[in-house]
């Protein structure tokens, strides 16, 4: 269903041992959390937080595992409510699961005909609302900033022109608009021309960067001294936030950066799990 990215590297850096407690703030299908749980038995516990309630419904009960539906941006509040302490390590895997991309039916993939939702949970705005109601300048801004899309202006203009004729409801409608907006040669590049637009919309819908900025100080605060914070990012915007936060707190003497450069997946892992190719793992130790 979902292959956990950089699993061995995460275990090596988090150093789970019997009796320790860990938080997986992006539980998904438990690929990382269940491996951690094996190593902290019989007394250790894992608190798994998952934003997508549909994903949580698919999880079996496992001894030592506490599952909670919620947004990791509320990490401190969830930890206090569950009276989960001490905390020896926190893991955040910021990528979507294979199930969410391929099976959720929410329009995360531009390869399938689905409604433009892109919402991980059931609250807030949808991608359809954004493309049909946001002003052109605001659309251009998120495509440029969140998608790092070089043709952001052309795509935003095209979206605004097309939505006057009919409401943009599906992934295939949006893909067609993007393809018509960008130069012909852009479609022959290694990545699909819709990739960056879909990324930008998903980030905007789920406030991914804002949530990451909120969780980092909370994670540091709840950790034990010598506790470890491990974060797997999948695009440069997330990775930059993590890198800058680690550097800032290291200068203040609050943490030690254990990964001077981000850890990348091996060629073997990329071959068996192509979605891992852009993953970057950074780990820090609380002082």
Looking at the fold, whether 119 and 32 belong to one and the same domain comes out as: no
Residue 1 in any domain: the answer is no
* Within-domain flag for 150: yes
Answer yes or no: is pLDDT of 1 > 70.
no
> Which region holds residue 154: left if phi is over 0, alpha if psi is between -120 and 50, else beta?
alpha
Give the integer Cα–Cα distance in Å for 14 and 108. 30
pLDDT at 91 over 70: yes
CATH number for the domain harbouring residue 16: 3.40.50.150
Q: What is the pLDDT of residue 122?
A: 83
**DSSP 8-state code for residue 24:** E
16 and 67 inside one domain = yes
pLDDT score recorded for residue 188: 66
Distance of alpha carbon 25 from alpha carbon 92, whole angstroms: 5
Residue 2 counted as domain residue: no
Residue 177: which domain range? 100-206
Distance, CA of 151 to CA of 173 (rounded, Å) = 18
| Residue ending a domain, choose from 206, 234, 262 | 206
Identify the domain boundary among 159, 191, 206: 206
- Gap between the Cα atoms of 220 and 242, Å rounded: 12
34-46 pLDDT, tens digit each: 999 999 999 999 9
- The whole-number average pLDDT for the span 177-200 is 87
Per the CB < 8 A criterion, the answer to whether 72 and 25 are in contact is: yes
pLDDT at 207 over 70: yes
Asked if 280 and 232 sit in the same domain, the reply is: yes
Q: What is the CATH number of the domain that holds 150?
A: 1.10.150.170
Q: Residue 85 in 3-state DSSP?
A: coil
Count, residues in the chain: 287
Domain co-membership, 244 together with 174: no
Give CA angle at 131 (130, 134), nearest 5°: 60
Asked whether residue 220 falls in the same domain as residue 183, the answer is no
Predicted local confidence at residue 2, as pLDDT = 64
CA angle 136–100–266, rounded 5-degree value: 100
pLDDT number for residue 187: 60
Q: Which of 31-35, 98-102, 167-171, 256-260 has the lowest mean pLDDT?
A: 98-102
Q: Does a structural domain hold residue 127?
A: yes
Structure confidence at residue 30 (pLDDT): 87
Domain-ending residue, one of 188, 206, 224: 206
- Average pLDDT along the chain: 93
**Number of structural domains in the chain:** 2
Q: How much is the average pLDDT of 168-197?
A: 89
């Amino acid at each position: 269903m979902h292959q956990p990215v950089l699993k061995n590297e995460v275990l090596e850096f988090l150093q789970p041992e019997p009796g320790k407690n860990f938080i997986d703030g992006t539980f998904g299908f438990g690929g990382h959390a269940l491996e951690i749980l094996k190593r902290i038995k019989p007394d250790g516990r894992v608190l798994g937080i998952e934003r997508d309630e549909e994903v949580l419904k698919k999880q079996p009960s496992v001894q030592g595992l506490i599952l909670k539906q919620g947004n990791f941006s509320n990490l401190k509040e969830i930890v206090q409510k569950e009276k989960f302490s001490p905390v020896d390590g926190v893991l955040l895997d910021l990528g979507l699961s294979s199930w969410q991309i391929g099976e959720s039916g929410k329009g995360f993939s531009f390869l399938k005909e689905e409604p433009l939702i892109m919402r991980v949970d059931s609250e807030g705005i949808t991608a359809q609302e954004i493309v049909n109601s946001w002003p052109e300048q605001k659309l251009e801004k998120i495509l440029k900033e969140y998608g790092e899309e070089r043709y952001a202006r052309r795509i935003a203009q095209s979206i605004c022109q097309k939505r006057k004729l009919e409401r943009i409801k599906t992934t295939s409608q949006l893909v067609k608009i993007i393809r018509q907006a960008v130069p012909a040669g852009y479609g022959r590049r290694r990545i699909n021309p819709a990739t960056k637009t879909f990324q930008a919309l998903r980030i905007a819908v789920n406030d991914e960067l804002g949530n990451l900025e909120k969780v980092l100080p909370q994670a540091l605060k709840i950790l034990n001294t010598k506790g470890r914070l491990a974060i797997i990012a999948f695009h440069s915007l997330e990775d930059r936030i993590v890198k800058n936060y680690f550097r800032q707190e290291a200068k203040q003497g609050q943490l030690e950066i254990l990964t001077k450069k981000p850890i990348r997946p091996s060629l073997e892992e990329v071959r068996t799990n192509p979605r891992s190719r852009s993953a970057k793992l950074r780990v820090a130790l609380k002082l």
